[in-house]
Amino acid sequence: MSTTTTELLKGAAELFPDEVVTQAHVRHLDLPAGAGRFALITLDNGFDHTKPTTFGPGSLANLNAAIDQVEKEAAEGTIVGVGITGKPFIFAVGADLKGVEILKRHEDALAIGKGGHDVFKRLAGLAVPTFAYYNGAAMGGGVEVGLHCAYRTVSKALPAFSLPEVFLGLVPGWGGCTLLPNLIGADRAVSVIIENSLNQNKQLKGKQVFELGIADALFEGADFLEQSLVWTASVLNGTVKVERPEIDRGEGWDAAVARGLAIADSKVHGAAPAAYRALEIVAAAKDGDLQKGFDAEDKALADLIMGGELRSGIYAFNLVQKRGKRPAGAPDKNLARPVTKVGVVGAGLMASQLALLFLRRLEVPVVLTDIDQERVDKGVSYVHGEIDKLLLKGRVNQDKANRLKALVTGVLDKAEGFADADFIIEAVFEEIGVKQQVFAEVEAVAPAHAILATNTSSLSVTEMASKLKHPERVVGFHFFNPVAILPLLEIVRGEQTDDASLATAFGVAKKLKKTAVLVKDAPAFVVNRILTRFMGEIQNVIDEGTPVPVAEKAVEPLGLPMSPLVLLELVGPAIGLHVSETLNRAFPDRFTVSPNLKAVVEAGKRGFYVYDSGKPELDPEVAALLTQGDSVLTEEQVRARVLDAVAQEIGLMLDEGVVAEAQDVDLCLITGAGWPFHLGGITPYLDREGVSERVNGKRFLEQGLASVPA
Amino acid sequence: MPRTVRDVVFVDGVRTPFGKAGPKGIYHETRADDLIVKAIRELLRRNPALDPAKIDEVAVAATTQIGDQGLTIGRTAGILAGLPQSVPGYSIDRMCAGALTAVTTTAGSIAFGAYDAVIAGGVEHMGRHPMGEGVDPNPRFVSEKLVDESALFMGMTAENLHDRYPSITKQRADEYAVRSQEKAAKAYANGKIQQDLVPISVRRTNEEAGETGWGLATQDEPMRPGTTLENLSGLKTPFRTHGRVTAGNAAGLNDGATASIIASEDFARENGLPVKMRLVSYSFAGVEPEVMGYGPIPATEKALAQAGLSISDIGLFEINEAFAVQVLAFLEHYGIADDDARVNQYGGAIAFGHPLASSGVRLMTQLARQFEEQPEVRYGLTTMCVGFGMGATVIWENPHHKDAGGDK
């Protein structure tokens, strides 16, 4: 068996010459308490913790060779046990995604799954007991290699433990789907494999890994490996008996799978296959037939690796992890000026939220101004209240709370507040004349170097700056609601914005821990423009005669976080209307103003649905307001029209240079609108479904980027 | 304010296995602070009756207090070991007698009433911090001939001690060294040493040093069981041509850490902690720096005088074997035979190693075990020589002795 595994991995390694290869060092030691000679395998890629250990085919081959060695020693009786652990701070973080991205053929994808299984399961077949010591970050295949061992310990200091495969578009396919439910029961396994994964890839800490029953013992980080080995000696000596609770292999198992399906439906609405494939395997694992489960994992892995959702998932993951941290087109960060005091014009809710964010992340003085003392006081007291909440939750201690509260002040007189501010952001009424007036007042009192930032969502930054003496220091700084949660920050470069101001804006964005994307000064920038076009097209078909439920259901297969009309409700129909009017003025040929939406807004309705039955139903009062035509489309026709419109709009935006590349559009939609990973934002999906080709005559992304390489 | 001097006891002591300093040593890739931290944690695990919040001080000695032995290691080690932040700590330096001084200094404070219970220990990673690292001796030492130039080189001071005691030949020193290795091997075989060792995980990335990956240190690396006189006779005398001091009859360059719990006797009893030794007296003495190995003799004179004891009252000796000659000089001074059974029953630093500032607590831990085994012995002493011409001696009473605690 070993030979074929070796050949399999050799073939796979040839496809992936750039692999960062993990070594599997075998070292022998004498266990405490005279428990005998022990072989400890250390997984280590030779880099420090900033480059976590991963498994590619070369790495698996190294582990396989290490197992060859200990297998022989175990058979000869020269060792009493085998352990596996990681380099400092890292156990192993799973398969090397780069090695997955390059795969072109189903058989190669199958080889990766089988290769991992073949190596890992040998651990369970050794003639001596096996132990995994989760010393640090463990994800995916890292978690799984430990699941193949007989016993596990985990460090209290372990910061991150997960099976993130479903989040990316895969299944835990090196034993995870099969072994985990058989170890801790289906319900807990569903929490790890499905629930955490689909909950923004939530990570477990060491203590939780122990409490879930994944690890048999929990030790503090300071002497984790020593205590794990002492414990190992006790297990081997028989002085410690490992007892695990009986798992429910009856109705509880089925109920867990059903719960998993409900979670998957609520998160991806059937639009991405990974969670469902994982649940099929978890369901089948009920009979405890491991090999059957491993075979099913191989098959699922290969199918998913060759599918578009995984490729989109990896693409999206890389966008957020890499492009999101090194924004395309941002100027040299050395040009950035220090920001030691922030001014906020306006003390309303948005302004107060911004003040809180700047305060927490920059920890510099933040001064709010408004037109009367009452509003100023209200803004400051809002911030103080939020700090108190953080204090109650233990997110900040009393000293930090005191510090933050002392840093936020409010004044009526801009000259007093902004004379030494380096960065001043306005969040006043969305009206160009008002904003120009505010900036003129600020410019009169602020230092010459101060950045003037605007949180406008639809007005022209260039026009806002046009009447200033120094328009080069104006930048757009467009946050998304809720400001504390959505990562996206669209940084808008006006026509006269200079590099130093822009670099300062990017520097501030990084400190705010936001995903900054550089955007040209174009109507509604990126997210709002695409969403408005998308919603506009839905509204158009409704106005033309398609029933509301048909229009809504038409886009369900995309698996968006919420339906279009629910989103409009969240944004507020009046704001939606306002943005559509703005875009209608800019692009009257493509953006319409829906008379029905206008009617809804004029009637003072805040939404389209009532929730009396527990499910959203069209509000009869809204239904009565609607005037529809007689052109009734099918769901498919609606979907095609909507996607065509989105593809056209993105194509035009790229032609206009609103952002550097299609990747930026996707990054914006993922981080600003919560559009799902399995769509890769949207352009990978439009490419995959042939929409881009149909509308624009070309793909947005080259083949192989967010898709199977040619 | 009336004040009562309180009795001070040695509650428990542990140490890491000692390693050989240098690129092939077991601790080459292990931090010094991790060694002391793990020793402290083991001590607390072994003594669950001691509430960590009741520890009043963490005194940690290191000779070279820079890098991972710097930053007030007594304080940082406490935090790293997971002690409550309310427990303070500080660093101590008296070179080889660092841990011994950590014990006596805190013991004095306990007797005075400032503390109830402390952790005292030491660490020296001579691989990461070679002897002499960063030193900057005042030029007046030489220009004004305040000390002989050999004073800074411990091997040379040992040769000087041979000069002072012409009867202590290289042959005698080698014979002593062979016995030290034999006694250490026997103590290991009988499980005397391992019971107070803390296993330490050790990482190795350099393939030339052996198997790579994580391993576990569970025994002293420097030991050379089976050493014979023949083995030793051919060794070089690096400190003087035709000299007497060799790598075989001296302690090596080593890495390791020790830690102990020292408490007032009342506190120990009230908290159900073991009482392994009762402190009788301690003393330090200075001698000419160029014969620093002579130091234990005047230090012991003073300690005996304070205690009102004579050398014949001492039933067990733990003498640090920096050099065989230094032990032999002590024995010769007191008319004790080279192979007296009361002396270093488990062997000494020639076999186990001598990570400078950590060794004092090793002596105490071993003496405490001997007290347990030999309740007929009432008094024992731990003594060591110290660089730049000093000696340090602590006299202990065996609480297992029938007259313990009574009049002398």
| Residues of chain B where predicted confidence (pLDDT) is lower than 50 | none
Could you tell me if B214 lies within 8 Å of chain A, comparing CB atoms? yes
Here the ipTM equals 0.96
Give chain A's contact residues with B (Cβ, < 8 Å): 23, 25-32, 40-42, 44, 46, 85, 87-88, 220, 222-223, 225-226, 229-230
A215 close to A134: Cβ distance less than 8 angstroms: yes
Count Cβ atoms within 10 A of the Cβ of residue A604 and give its class: 0-12 exposed, 13-18 middle, 19 or more buried: exposed
Could you tell me if B40 lies within 8 Å of chain A, comparing CB atoms? no
- CB burial string A682-696: b at 16+ within 10 A, e below: bbbbbbbbebbeebb
CA distances from A148 to A152, B363, B388 (A): 10, 46, 58
Q: What gap in Å lies between CA A37 and CA B65, rounded to an integer?
A: 37
pLDDT at A1: 45
Per CB-CB distance under 8 Å, the chain B contacts of A31 are 216
- A339-520 matches A527-657 in fold: no
A490 close to A517: Cβ distance less than 8 angstroms: yes
Which amino acids of B are annotated catalytic? 96, 354, 385
Q: Do A222 and B204 touch (CB under 8 A)?
A: no
**Residues whose CB falls within 8 Å of the CB of residue A7, separated by 6 or more in sequence, listed in order:** none
Could you tell me if B38 lies within 8 Å of chain A, comparing CB atoms? yes
Query: Which chain B residue lies closest to A226 (C-alpha atoms)?
Result: B201
Domain boundaries, chain A: 2-306, 339-520, 527-657
A193 close to A285: Cβ distance less than 8 angstroms: no
Q: What gap in Å lies between CA A355 and CA B112, rounded to an integer?
A: 56
Per CB-CB distance under 8 Å, the chain B contacts of A229 are 199, 201, 216
pLDDT at A461: 96
CA distances from A299 to A139, A242, A707 (A): 21, 34, 19
A345 close to A455: Cβ distance less than 8 angstroms: no
Q: Do A25 and B213 touch (CB under 8 A)?
A: yes
Work out whether strand B254-264 and strand B19-20 pair parallel, antiparallel, or are unpaired.
antiparallel
Q: What gap in Å lies between CA B121 and CA B11, rounded to an integer?
A: 13
Q: What gap in Å lies between CA B139 and CA B146, rounded to an integer?
A: 10
Tokens of A66: 């290490």
- In A403-446 the beta strands, taken as DSSP E runs, fall at 408-411, 423-426
- Give which of B83, B204, B216 to mutate to test A binding, by max A Cβ within 10 Å: B216
Q: At what angle do helices A564-571 and A573-586 cross, to 10 degrees?
A: 100
Could you tell me if B204 lies within 8 Å of chain A, comparing CB atoms? yes
Query: Among partner residues B41, B203, B218, which is closest to A223 by beta-carbon distance?
Result: B41
CB pairs under 8 A between A and B: 64
A80 close to A38: Cβ distance less than 8 angstroms: yes
- Helix (H) / strand (E) containing A517: strand A515-520
Number of alpha helices (DSSP H) and beta strands (DSSP E) in chain B: 12, 12
- Helix (H) / strand (E) containing A619: none
Query: Among partner residues B199, B205, B213, which is closest to A230 by beta-carbon distance?
Result: B199
- Give which of B40, B198, B201 to mutate to test A binding, by max A Cβ within 10 Å: B201
Check residue A470 and report its DSSP letter: -
**Residues whose CB falls within 8 Å of the CB of residue A673, separated by 6 or more in sequence, listed in order:** A480, A527, A531, A561
Residue B304 has a CB neighbour count (10 Å cut-off) of: 22
Report the candidate in A502, A441, A493, A490 with the shortest Cα–Cα distance to residue A467.
Answer: A441
Query: Among partner residues A31, A41, A222, which is closest to B213 by beta-carbon distance?
Result: A41
Q: What gap in Å lies between CA A361 and CA B163, rounded to an integer?
A: 70
Q: Do A85 and B214 touch (CB under 8 A)?
A: yes
CA distances from A102 to A110, A112, A129, A167, A174 (A): 14, 12, 37, 19, 19
Query: Among partner residues B82, B216, B219, which is closest to A222 by beta-carbon distance?
Result: B82
Query: Among partner residues A42, A222, A230, which is closest to B214 by beta-carbon distance?
Result: A42
CA distances from A15 to A10, A63, A98, A100, B313 (A): 9, 19, 11, 10, 79
CA distances from B215 to A415, A572, B90, B194, B268 (A): 66, 62, 31, 17, 36
A3-57 pLDDT, tens digit each: 588 888 988 888 899 999 999 999 999 999 999 999 999 999 999 999 999 999 9
- Three-state DSSP at A356 gives helix
Tokens of A419: 């004379």
Amino acid in position A561: P
Per CB-CB distance under 8 Å, the chain A contacts of B214 are 27, 40, 42, 85, 225
Per CB-CB distance under 8 Å, the chain B contacts of A236 are none
Q: What gap in Å lies between CA A126 and CA A116, rounded to an integer?
A: 17
Q: If contacts are CB pairs under 8 Å, which of residues 304-333 in chain B contact chain A?
A: none
Report the candidate in A90, A103, A99 with the shortest Cα–Cα distance to residue A60.
Answer: A99
Q: Do A226 and B203 touch (CB under 8 A)?
A: no
| Residues of chain A where predicted confidence (pLDDT) is lower than 70 | 1-3
Could you tell me if B35 lies within 8 Å of chain A, comparing CB atoms? no
Fold of A527-657: N-(1-d-carboxylethyl)-l-norvaline Dehydrogenase; domain 2 (1.10.1040)
B80 close to B259: Cβ distance less than 8 angstroms: no
Per CB-CB distance under 8 Å, the chain A contacts of B198 are 226
Could you tell me if B80 lies within 8 Å of chain A, comparing CB atoms? yes
Could you tell me if B199 lies within 8 Å of chain A, comparing CB atoms? yes
Could you tell me if B201 lies within 8 Å of chain A, comparing CB atoms? yes
CA distances from A204 to A98, A201, A394, A415 (A): 24, 10, 19, 49
Name residue, tokens 């149909």: A694
- In A101-169 the beta strands, taken as DSSP E runs, fall at 130-134, 137-139, 151-155, 161-162
Per CB-CB distance under 8 Å, the chain B contacts of A87 are 203
- In B126-224 the beta strands, taken as DSSP E runs, fall at 200-204, 213-217
Per CB-CB distance under 8 Å, the chain A contacts of B203 are 42, 87-88
List helix spans (H) across B165-248.
170-189, 229-233
Q: B298 preceded by cis ω (within 30°)?
A: no
B229-283 pLDDT, tens digit each: 999 999 999 999 999 999 999 999 999 999 999 999 999 999 999 999 999 999 9
Q: What gap in Å lies between CA B202 and CA B127, rounded to an integer?
A: 14
Q: Do A225 and B81 touch (CB under 8 A)?
A: no
Q: Do B214 and A230 touch (CB under 8 A)?
A: no
B274 close to B268: Cβ distance less than 8 angstroms: yes
What are the φ/ψ torsions at residue B300 (nearest 5 degrees)? -70, -40
Fold of A2-306: 2-enoyl-CoA Hydratase; Chain A, domain 1 (3.90.226)
Q: Do B216 and A226 touch (CB under 8 A)?
A: yes
Per CB-CB distance under 8 Å, the chain B contacts of A41 are 213
Residue A98 has a CB neighbour count (10 Å cut-off) of: 15
Q: Which CATH class is domain A339-520?
A: alpha beta
Q: What gap in Å lies between CA A522 and CA A529, rounded to an integer?
A: 9
Predicted structure pTM score: 0.94
Q: What gap in Å lies between CA A233 and CA A430, rounded to an integer?
A: 69
Query: Which chain B residue lies closest to A228 (C-alpha atoms)?
Result: B201
**Residues whose CB falls within 8 Å of the CB of residue B34, separated by 6 or more in sequence, listed in order:** B68, B80, B200
B102 close to B71: Cβ distance less than 8 angstroms: no
Per CB-CB distance under 8 Å, the chain B contacts of A46 are 205
Amino acid in position B259: A
Q: What gap in Å lies between CA B194 and CA A40, rounded to an integer?
A: 22
